[in-house]
Amino acid sequence: MTRFSQAVGILTAGGEFRVWSVIVSIFGDLAREPEDEISGALLSALTERLGIRPEAVRVALHRLRKDGWITTRKHGRSGHYRLSPNARETSRNARERIYADENRKTDRWHLLILPPMPQSERHDREKPWLASGYASLVPGVMLGAGAAPVQSGNFTFEGEVAEIPAWVKSANAPTELIAGYARLETSLASIGTPLLDAPLEIAALRVLVIHQWRRLLLRHPALPDRFYPPEWREAACRQRVVELLKHLPRPSLAELENAASQGG
Per-residue pLDDT tens over the stretch 88-116: 999 998 998 999 988 777 778 999 999 99
**Residue whose C-alpha is closest to residue 16's, from 42, 51, 59:** 51
Task: State the chain's mean pLDDT as an integer.
Answer: 92
Q: Which residues have CB under 8 Å from 129's CB, separation 6+?
A: 112, 142, 144
What is the Cα–Cα distance from 65 to 196, expressed in whole angstroms? 33
Confidence of residue 195 (pLDDT cuts 50, 70, 90): confident
Judged by phi (left if over 0) then psi (alpha if -120 to 50, else beta), residue 59 lies in: alpha
pLDDT band at residue 133 under the 50/70/90 scheme: confident
Cα 205-210-212 angle, rounded to 5 deg: 95
Residue percentage of the chain with pLDDT more than 70: 100
Task: Name the residue among 82, 78, 74, 16 with its Cα closest to residue 50.
Answer: 16
Q: Tell me the average pLDDT across 128-146.
A: 90
pLDDT at 194: 84
68-72, 158-162, 252-256: segment of lowest average pLDDT? 158-162
Query: What is the pLDDT at residue 107?
Result: 79
Measured CA distances, 240 to 47, 193, 244 (Å): 23, 10, 6
Cα 36–37–38 angle (5° rounding)?
135
Mean pLDDT score, 129-156? 89
Q: d(Cα 146, Cα 164) in Å, to the nearest integer? A: 17
Predicted pLDDT at 192: 87
* CATH (residue range 3-102+173-261): 1.10.10.10
What average pLDDT does this structure show over 191-219?
94
State what percent of residues in the chain have pLDDT above 90: 76
Q: pLDDT tens-digit profile of 210-219?
A: 999 999 999 9
The answer, yes or no, to whether residue 81 has pLDDT greater than 90, is yes
Amino acid 264: pLDDT: 67
Model confidence, pTM: 0.90
Sequence ranges of the domains in the chain = 3-102+173-261, 109-159
- Contact call for residues 64 and 70 (beta carbons, < 8 A): yes
The per-residue pLDDT for 79 is 87
